[in-house]
């Protein structure tokens, strides 16, 4: 008789009729269907939905839970209707970095990582401020955490020069140092520079590091209400020129909302050619990338948590089903078909945005799964119930139970 490490019995799978068993061996999906063999461990999904685990391609992980320390002023600026105060918000928020220390950042980030696991999110792309104020304190904290959790969770550490590269002399060297220390991804925020020329130089310099150390690139582009911001375009052009196809992601790109149609179409075409993903976070600012139209144009679009209780957003708990629920409202994606897309955007497409290969339920794929407490995607997004089991690298890493006792009779 065949034996497996783990078997999930009676699982409902997206797009398939009936229930199926999933057998897992050596961290991978070994078989799907009727499984006669035995598992060292077996769980019964009881006809509930089993899908790929959630992934979060954008989180400012060195800033989590700092909201109370920093106060509300930068949040007020960032959330102004036109997002005209976005740059002021970043300047105000950077104050906290004078107090940056690896020890408390590590504790906060650990709390956020456990929250993610609880809610079924197994992969996080962590943007970590790497600049002359933050120095390498956040990087030290997140690299330590990344290594500690690596058996059951993926944290990709992004060396992120939050205050600019040209605007903050010294940050380029710090990003290089962070990558030498082991940061996985080279970051950037080109729109924050003072001139278009500087924005381009910012992208060029960060690409130099990415190429030298063979790293993926993830930048925050055009994150304010100014249609003149066009760094997403240059990032795509640079990606094509440097043949970094499929390795680059742009987060936010909120100015896109104001682009004239012909320019938007050209940009979408460039993004597709560069196989660049867009990570949108409509819940953290009043503007957002043109998600629906990008999807229509065939661009890979995912949602990120972006912030957890920091200077830019007061809520957040690394719960990607909550993000899907919020975005369903903010983007008015409320049809059953839309919900399937929203779900993809926090699972498969989020994985693609993080350059995670093969995040699918299929034989041979890594077994990163959630056994939901819902029968379908609609119910999952509607109730956002905690997953009954969270499976990472082929083993159960979290289990949730929901208990309600009514003390009334009807």
Q: Interface residues with Zn ion (CB under 5 A)?
A: 306
Q: Which is nearer to Zn ion, 306 or 322 (CB)?
A: 306
Q: Which is nearer to Zn ion, 153 or 251 (CB)?
A: 251
Q: How many CA atoms lie within 13 A of 99 on its CB side?
A: 9
- The least CB distance from residue 62 to Zn ion, in Å, is 12
- The least CB distance from residue 270 to Zn ion, in Å, is 22
- The least CB distance from residue 1 to Zn ion, in Å, is 50
Q: Which is nearer to Zn ion, 21 or 322 (CB)?
A: 322
Q: For the purposes of burial, counting CB atoms within 10 Å of the CB of 217, is it exposed (0-12), middle (13-18) or buried (19 or more)?
A: buried
- The least CB distance from residue 315 to Zn ion, in Å, is 14
Q: Which is nearer to Zn ion, 306 or 386 (CB)?
A: 306
Structure tokens belonging to residue 25: 């061996």
* CA–CA distances in Å: residue 189 to residues 184, 201, 379: 17, 11, 37
Using alpha carbons, select from 163, 241, 254, 180 the residue that is nearest to residue 207.
241
For 183, which DSSP code? -
Q: Which is nearer to Zn ion, 216 or 306 (CB)?
A: 306
Count other Cβ atoms within 10 Å, centred on residue 262. Answer: 8
* CA–CA distances in Å: residue 187 to residues 48, 162, 241: 39, 9, 18
- The least CB distance from residue 251 to Zn ion, in Å, is 6
Name the residue with the smallest CB distance to Zn ion. 306
Q: Which is nearer to Zn ion, 74 or 373 (CB)?
A: 74
- The least CB distance from residue 300 to Zn ion, in Å, is 18
Q: Which is nearer to Zn ion, 187 or 394 (CB)?
A: 187
Structure tokens belonging to residue 335: 């049809």
- The least CB distance from residue 220 to Zn ion, in Å, is 6
Q: What angle do CA 266, 264, 187 make, to 5 degrees?
A: 90
Structure tokens belonging to residue 93: 């928020």
Q: How many CA atoms lie within 13 A of 66 on its CB side?
A: 25
Q: Is the dihedral of CA 329, 332, 334, 337 positive or negative?
A: negative
How far apart, in whole angstroms, are the C-alpha atoms of residue 231 and residue 306? 19
- The least CB distance from residue 50 to Zn ion, in Å, is 31
Structure tokens belonging to residue 80: 């102004």
Structure tokens belonging to residue 378: 């609609």
Q: Which is nearer to Zn ion, 184 or 306 (CB)?
A: 306
């Amino acid at each position: 008789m065949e034996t497996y490490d783990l078997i999930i019995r009676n699982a409902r799978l997206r797009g398939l009729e009936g229930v199926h068993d999933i057998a897992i061996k050596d961290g991978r999906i070994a078989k799907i269907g009727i499984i006669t063999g035995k598992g060292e461990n077996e769980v019964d999904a009881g006809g509930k939905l089993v899908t790929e685990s959630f992934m979060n391609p954008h989180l400012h992980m060195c800033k989590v839970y700092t909201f109370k320390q920093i106060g509300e002023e930068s949040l007020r600026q960032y959330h102004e209707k036109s997002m005209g105060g976005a740059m002021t918000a970043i300047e105000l928020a950077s104050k906290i970095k004078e107090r940056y220390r690896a020890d408390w950042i590590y504790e906060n980030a650990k709390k956020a990582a456990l929250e993610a696991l609880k809610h079924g999110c197994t992969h996080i792309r962590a943007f970590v401020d790497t600049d002359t104020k933050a120095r390498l304190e956040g990087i030290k904290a997140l690299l330590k955490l990344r290594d500690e959790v690596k058996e059951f969770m993926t944290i990709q550490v992004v060396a992120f020069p939050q205050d600019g590269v040209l605007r903050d002399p010294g940050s380029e060297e710090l990003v290089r140092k962070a990558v030498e220390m082991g940061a996985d991804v080279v970051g950037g925020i080109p729109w924050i520079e003072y001139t278009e020329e500087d924005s381009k130089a910012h992208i060029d310099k960060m690409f130099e590091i990415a190429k030298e150390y063979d790293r993926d690139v993830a930048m925050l582009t055009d994150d304010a209400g100014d249609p003149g911001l066009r760094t997403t375009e240059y990032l795509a052009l640079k990606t094509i020129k440097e043949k970094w196809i499929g390795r680059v992601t742009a987060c936010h790109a909120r100015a896109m909302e104001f682009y004239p149609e012909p320019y938007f179409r050209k940009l979408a075409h460039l993004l597709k050619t560069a196989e660049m993903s867009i990570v949108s976070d409509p819940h953290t600012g009043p503007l957002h990338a043109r998600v629906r139209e990008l999807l229509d144009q065939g661009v890979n679009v995912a949602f990120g948590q972006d912030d957890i209780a920091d200077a830019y957003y007061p809520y957040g708990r690394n719960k990607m089903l909550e993000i899907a629920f919020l975005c369903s409202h903010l983007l008015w994606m409320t049809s059953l078909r839309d919900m399937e897309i929203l779900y993809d955007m926090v699972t498969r497409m989020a994985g693609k945005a993080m350059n995670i290969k093969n995040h699918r339920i299929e034989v041979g794929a890594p077994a990163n799964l959630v056994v939901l407490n819902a029968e379908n995607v609609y119910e999952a997004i509607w109730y956002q119930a905690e997953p009954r089991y969270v499976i990472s690298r082929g083993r159960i890493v979290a289990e949730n139970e929901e208990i309600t006792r009514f003390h009334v009779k009807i």
